């Protein structure tokens, strides 16, 4: 085991290189890049191929889509405006965005700025993909919410991972600063943090080494390149468009380690706002949904908290983890969706071997004779339907995507690699209201993959009102 005072990261570098090579070979992941900053030292490891179509190698400074890691950048931008007195977290969003509305009359009026960045806003827009380009993309997104998307719950009442909330926050930033979201991101995050190789468009990305995503071919399981590089401009603040390198993400993570001071010493965020982002803003008190800060998700590993956000892009997945009490940042990108398992394994190894953190068992032995009937039924959210029934003493879930129109179907299908409905998934009861996908050893869920667990909430008259999978709520139809 490497002890805290052993600062040489070369052992960590060698182990990540070995781990990445083995996982990528056995799971058909073309390429992987990861970096660790710890106590003043930093390493970056690259492996494999950035683009299977061209054979371009994955390099230490290859760029990749941040995906939802962008949500922490967007939240940082919001808190900057709070520091400057342009925004108040407890102000209704409609004060700044009078045209912000949802299909349920009056629902948007109750949403505060804080609800947007703590995923407690209830906006039912997780798969809402308006295909709009250019400077007015976010304005158009907010305008179309009024006729397309409703509310899942009352603001502040529950927690549900919210792309829509972050996109509305991006539009809010445009209105209060008078700048487009991409320009603001470049001026107020990329520049002061020192994210020298980050951009916000495919036009910028093509000028340097950039990875693309891949999906497993259903017939051969070999990785095939994605047909869509990035999501529409409407998804910029939620993670559709920002691109950068591992070194850039490590610099951003270090800024949050250092109370808002960038590695070059520039003040990016006040110490108070940096701390506020890291504090619990909502806790659902269920193992599959870690407590939420502002922007950050707070993963408990025993007594150690890992501030984290992962980010899916078409055929790729990134992650950024910050461990304040151990002065450590970990960032990674793999160019198939399955690379999230490798992210999780490296994170747990860093915690246990590098930092000496004891990772406790999250899920103990399942309870016997759990009544499954409260969870049976149909649950819905925007363009998504989940049918739940009992089969052989387990729950079986069948998930169906129900596109609102042709454009949404095209974007979602490309984003999902051509799959629009998943095969039925069985779940075994762990205890009332908590279920694990069948066939997985329980230790699978000790780390980041606790998100694979499913929970049901608010049982009334013998029926659950909400299902939570991957941090996202669907409501009983």
pLDDT digits (tens, 9 = 90+) for 410-446: 999 999 998 767 799 999 999 999 999 999 999 999 9
For residue 264, pLDDT over 80 is answered with yes
Contacts of 211 (CB under 8 A, 6+ apart): 31, 33, 50, 51, 58, 62, 63, 64, 316, 333, 335
What mean pLDDT do residues 294-299 have?
98
| Predicted pLDDT of residue 121 | 98
Structure tokens at 207: 């000028």
Q: Convert the pLDDT of each residue in 440-470 to its tens digit.
A: 999 999 999 999 999 999 999 999 999 999 9
Query: How many degrees, rounded to 5, is the angle at CA 217 between CA 213 and CA 219?
Result: 175
At 249, give phi and psi (nearest 5°): -65, -40
For residue 1, pLDDT over 70 is answered with no
Using only C-alpha atoms, the chain has a radius of gyration, in whole angstroms, of: 21
Give the C-alpha separation, 72 to 311, whole Å: 11
What mean pLDDT do residues 269-279 have?
98
What is this structure's pTM?
0.97
| Pairing verdict, β 316-323 and 454-460 | unpaired
For a pLDDT cut of 90, what percent of the chain falls above it? 95
Give the C-alpha separation, 271 to 150, whole Å: 36
What mean pLDDT do residues 60-78 have?
98
Give the C-alpha separation, 375 to 464, whole Å: 6
What mean pLDDT do residues 25-47 have?
97
What mean pLDDT do residues 297-315 have?
97
Is 68 among the catalytic positions?
Answer: yes
Give the C-alpha separation, 161 to 132, whole Å: 23
| Predicted pLDDT of residue 365 | 86
Query: How many degrees, rounded to 5, is the angle at CA 117 between CA 95 and CA 328?
Result: 150
Q: How many CA atoms, within 13 angstroms, populate the side-chain half-sphere of residue 97?
A: 31
Give the C-alpha separation, 377 to 461, whole Å: 14
For residue 298, pLDDT over 70 is answered with yes
E strand or H helix that includes residue 31: strand 31-38
**Count of C-beta atoms within a 10 Å radius of residue 219:** 6
Q: Convert the pLDDT of each residue in 337-396 to its tens digit.
A: 999 999 999 999 999 999 999 999 999 889 999 999 999 999 999 999 999 999 999 999
CA dihedral (373, 379, 385, 388) in degrees, to 10, reads: -10
For residue 7, pLDDT over 80 is answered with no
| Predicted pLDDT of residue 351 | 98
Closest CA to 113 of 69, 75, 154: 75
| Predicted pLDDT of residue 63 | 98
DSSP state letter for 358: -
Give the C-alpha separation, 203 to 133, whole Å: 13
| Predicted pLDDT of residue 4 | 43
Give the C-alpha separation, 238 to 311, whole Å: 9
Give the C-alpha separation, 422 to 53, whole Å: 27
Contacts of 441 (CB under 8 A, 6+ apart): none
| Predicted pLDDT of residue 6 | 47
Please enumerate, as own/partner, the contacts of 213-216 that have beta carbons within 8 Å and a separation of 24 or more. 213/65, 213/313, 213/314, 213/315, 213/316, 213/335, 213/336, 213/337, 214/29, 214/30, 214/52, 214/315, 214/316, 214/335, 214/336, 215/315, 215/336, 215/337, 215/417, 215/418, 216/28, 216/336, 216/338, 216/417
DSSP state letter for 352: I
| Predicted pLDDT of residue 2 | 38
For residue 20, pLDDT over 80 is answered with yes
Give the C-alpha separation, 379 to 399, whole Å: 10
Q: How far apart are the first and last CA of the chain?
A: 51
Query: How many degrees, rounded to 5, is the angle at CA 273 between CA 83 and CA 152?
Result: 100
For 197-230, the three-class secondary structure string (H helix, E strand, C coil) is CCECCHHHHCCCCECCCEEECCCCCCEEECCCCC
Report CA torsion sign: 231, 234, 238, 244: positive
Q: Convert the pLDDT of each residue in 132-188 to its tens digit.
A: 999 999 999 999 999 999 999 999 999 999 999 999 999 999 999 999 999 999 999
- Please state, rounded to an integer, the average pLDDT across all residues of the chain: 96
| Predicted pLDDT of residue 422 | 79
DSSP state letter for 281: S
At 97, give phi and psi (nearest 5°): -120, 80
E strand or H helix that includes residue 7: none
For residue 221, pLDDT over 90 is answered with no
Active-site residue among 26, 68, 310, 455? 68
| Predicted pLDDT of residue 309 | 98
The SS3 assignment for 396 reads strand
| Predicted pLDDT of residue 219 | 85
Give the C-alpha separation, 343 to 299, whole Å: 14
What mean pLDDT do residues 230-243 have?
97
Number of H helices, E strands in the chain: 12, 19
């Amino acid at each position: 085991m490497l002890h805290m005072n052993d600062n040489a990261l070369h052992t960590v570098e060698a182990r990540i290189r070995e781990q990445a090579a083995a996982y990528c070979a056995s799971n058909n992941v073309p390429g992987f890049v990861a970096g660790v900053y710890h106590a003043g030292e930093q390493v970056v490891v690259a492996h494999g191929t950035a683009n299977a179509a061209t054979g371009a190698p994955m390099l230490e400074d290859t760029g990749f889509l941040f995906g939802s890691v962008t949500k922490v950048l967007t939240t940082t931008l919001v808190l900057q405006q709070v520091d400057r007195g342009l925004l108040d977290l407890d102000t209704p969003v409609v004060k700044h965005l009078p045209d912000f509305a949802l299909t349920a009359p009056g629902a948007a009026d109750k949403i505060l700025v804080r609800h947007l960045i703590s995923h407690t806003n209830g906006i039912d827009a997780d798969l809402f993909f308006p295909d709009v380009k250019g400077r007015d993309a976010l304005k158009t997104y907010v305008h179309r919410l009024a006729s397309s998307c409703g509310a899942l719950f009352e603001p502040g009442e529950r927690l549900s991972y919210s792309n829509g909330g972050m996109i509305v926050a991006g539009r809010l930033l445009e209105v209060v600063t008078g700048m487009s979201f991409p320009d603001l991101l470049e001026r107020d995050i990329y520049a002061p943090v020192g994210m020298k190789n980050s951009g916000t468009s495919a036009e910028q990305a093509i000028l340097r080494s950039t990875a693309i995503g891949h999906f497993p071919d259903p017939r051969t399981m070999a990785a095939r390149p994605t047909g869509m590089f990035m999501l529409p401009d409407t998804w910029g603040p939620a993670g559709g468009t920002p691109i950068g390198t591992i070194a850039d993400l490590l610099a951003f993570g270090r800024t949050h380690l250092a109370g808002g001071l960038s590695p070059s010493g520039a003040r990016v965020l006040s110490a108070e706002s940096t701390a506020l982002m890291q504090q619990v803003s909502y806790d659902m008190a269920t193992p599959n949904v870690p407590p939420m800060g502002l922007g950050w998700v707070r993963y408990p590993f025993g007594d150690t908290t890992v501030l984290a956000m992962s980010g899916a892009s078409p055929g790729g997945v990134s992650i950024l983890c910050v461990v304040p009490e151990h002065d450590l940042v970990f960032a990674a990108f793999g160019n198939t969706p399955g690379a999230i398992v490798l992210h999780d394994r490296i994170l747990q190894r860093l915690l246990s071997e590098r930092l000496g953190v004891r990772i406790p068992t999250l899920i103990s032995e399942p309870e016997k004779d759990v009544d499954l009937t409260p969870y049976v039924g149909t649950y819905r959210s925007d363009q998504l339907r989940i049918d739940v029934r009992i089969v052989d003493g387990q729950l079986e879930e069948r998930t169906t995507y129900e596109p609102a129109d042709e454009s949404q179907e095209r974007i979602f299908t490309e984003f999902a690699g051509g799959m629009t409905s998943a095969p039925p998934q069985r779940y075994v009861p762990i205890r009332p209201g908590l279920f694990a996908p069948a066939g997985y050893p329980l230790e699978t869920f000790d780390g980041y993959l606790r998100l694979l667990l499913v929970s049901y909430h608010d049982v009334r008259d013998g029926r659950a009102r909400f299902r939570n999978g991957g941090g996202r709520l669907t409501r009983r139809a």
